[in-house]
Amino acid sequence: MIRKLRPLAAMICCIAAPMAMGQDAAAIELLRTAPVAGGGQAYSLTLQALGLMTLLTLLPAIVLSMTAFTRIVIVLGLLRQALGAAQTPPNQVIVGLSLFLTFFVMGPTLNEVQRDALQPYVAESIPFETALQRAVVPMKKFMLAQTRESDLKLFMDLAKTPPVKAPLDTPLSVLLPSFLTSELRTAFTIGFLIYIPFLVIDLVVASVLMSMGMMMVSPVMIALPFKFLLFVLVDGWALILGSLAASFAAPLP
């Protein structure tokens, strides 16, 4: 698990570094001292430190948006709604399952980041700027493989970005929203296909109850065990998780 988290740390650096490049390379002061009357000193946090701490709170969401996490967590959430189980499985289980499945899907990409960027940088054989450039490439390859050309063209037109010579030259400011838009569309398409069999069960149960004159009985209560039975009989969890893992295209060569 620790070996898997090391590339994630490198990816965090990939996001944080471009945002900090525009500032001076000098060390960030956490505390600033100033003399006061009576020979004492006053301490205050600098704006740089405040900005850095704010950035650290946003980094997990930014990094998760560059991985398979978005598609997986949305599909599992739609699956829970299709089953009709209000809080089963709970949110913590869905997020945890999505996170570990994300590590499984992103394994080759994270290993490439670790091999080409993190390990040489830790060994002090390459500078940080070179490690940063190498770490961004595998993530771009993964995102480009999942992004539709129509979504990429939309955001390139909105940003008035000139045509790029190669796909890897696409700036992150355009690639990230294009990737997220494609992931949302794919996730809702998969969710629609998941809803169909459970919707059929709801319709059948509602029709049977109406024909029997049982208007006061909730169709949801009667249909829920049949949904669980169907889901267990077809080995639903293995089917859904396996299909989700296989739905991601291989990264660009």
Q: Cα separation of 48 and 194, whole Å?
A: 48
Q: How many helices (H) and strands (E) does the chain have?
A: 11, 2
Amino acid letter for position 119: Q
Q: Which 3 state secondary structure label does DSSP give 32?
A: strand
Structure tokens at 181: 């838009």
CB atoms within 10 A of CB 85: 13
Q: What is the pLDDT of residues 107-151, one digit of tens each?
A: 888 888 888 888 888 887 888 778 888 888 888 889 999 899 899
| pLDDT tens over the chain, length 253 residues | 445 444 444 445 554 444 444 444 444 454 455 565 555 554 455 555 666 677 677 777 777 788 889 999 999 999 998 888 777 888 899 999 998 999 899 888 888 888 888 888 888 788 877 888 888 888 888 999 989 989 988 998 888 888 888 888 888 888 899 999 999 999 999 999 999 988 888 888 888 888 877 777 777 788 888 888 888 898 888 999 998 888 888 777 6
| Residue 220 CB neighbour total at 10 angstroms | 12
- Cβ-proximal residues to 100 (8 Å cutoff; 6+ apart), any chain: none
As beta bridge partners, residue 34 has 42
Q: At what angle do helices 219-233 and 69-83 cross, to 10 degrees?
A: 130
Contacts of 140 by beta carbon, 8 Å cutoff, 6+ apart? 167, 168, 170, 172, 175
